Amino acid sequence: NVLVNMSGLSKIFPNGTTAVKDVNLEIKEGEFICFVGPSGCGKSTIFKMITGLEDHTNGELEIFGHSPDEARKQNEVAFVFQDHTLLPWKNVRDNVALPLQLKGVSKKERYAEAERVLELVGLAHTTTMLPRELSGGMKMRVSIARALVTRPRLLLMDEPFGALDEITRQSLQEELLNIWQKDSSMTVLFITHNVFEAVYLSSKVAVMTPGPGKISSNIEVPYAYP
Ligand code: ADP
Ligand code: ADP
């Protein structure tokens, strides 16, 4: 069951920079793939093309058999970035419910869904707190909850734990694995430059070369889940 198909995928920015060069990758439903590689090799650019924020220059990119624009319109792709963008004047539950509010879901229903995903990230007790009252790790959990609230089939995470201390990072890694294992149809794509994190989290690691990014190896990770 192929979810994302990249073939000969390349991106040349208008200023002439080749950011991604001839990437071929097939992503199947339920995989957890980490993208590792040095800074500037094109990891974020690949994510931006998947979310439709950037067009690709050459090659093919299909998500659920659709163009990235269509896939995004169907709300099947969600993302989490390192610098979580919670609205400071809204409480935790309203922040998490926001994607549903934008879709016109009723307050009762979106609050119920927000509470469901806050439970998943262990923050059921914070619904009426404001972002400024939360630690960095808690804010990241709220961002993950907000990404999960639309029940996406594909979750993109761009170095989400990069700014967290080691202990917090480890507990979030555990929680993310738990969430992913509970929902066998959710596919996660995760950028990190921490090789240990990649090997710990993923079912497959896509290693990118320096310079105009190309995937140099695509390694199945043989390991037993906790
Ligand atoms: P990574 O996420 O692996 O650090 P990026 O995808 O951010 O790498 O960047 C890949 C290359 O593309 C880098 O050389 C970067 O400078 C360049 N780049 C990224 N965005 C733009 C842009 N909007 N215009 C021109 N060049 C860009
Ligand atoms: P609701 O969830 O009821 O639709 P809003 O999102 O419109 O509420 O606003 C919630 C509260 O946040 C209101 O008091 C509003 O004035 C305030 N607010 C909305 N936008 C901003 C903003 N950009 N900066 C500061 N406060 C804002």
pLDDT in tens, 130-158: 999 999 999 999 999 999 999 999 999 99
User: How remote is the CA of residue 1 from the centroid of ligand 1, in Å?
Assistant: 31
- Write out pLDDT tens, residues 54-82: 999 999 999 988 999 888 877 789 999 87
Report the pocket of ligand 1 as residue ranges, CB < 6 Å.
13, 15, 17, 19, 37, 39-45
- d(CA 207, CA 217) in angstroms, rounded, equals 5
Residue to probe by mutation, ligand 2, list 89, 103, 105, most atoms within 8 Å of CB: 89
Which ligand 1 atom is the nearest neighbour of the CA of 54?
Answer: 23
Q: Given pLDDT bands bounded at 50, 70 and 90, which one contains residue 119?
A: very high
The pLDDT value given to residue 194: 86
b/e string for 1-29 if b means 16 or more Cβ within 10 A? eebbbbeebbbeeeeeebbbbbbebebee
If we measure between CA atoms, which residue out of 192, 183, 123, 181 comes closest to residue 156?
192
* Average pLDDT value over all residues in the chain: 89
User: How remote is the CA of residue 90 from the centroid of ligand 2, in Å?
Assistant: 7
The pLDDT value given to residue 224: 38
- pTM of this prediction? 0.84
Which ligand 1 atom is the nearest neighbour of the CA of 47?
Answer: 6
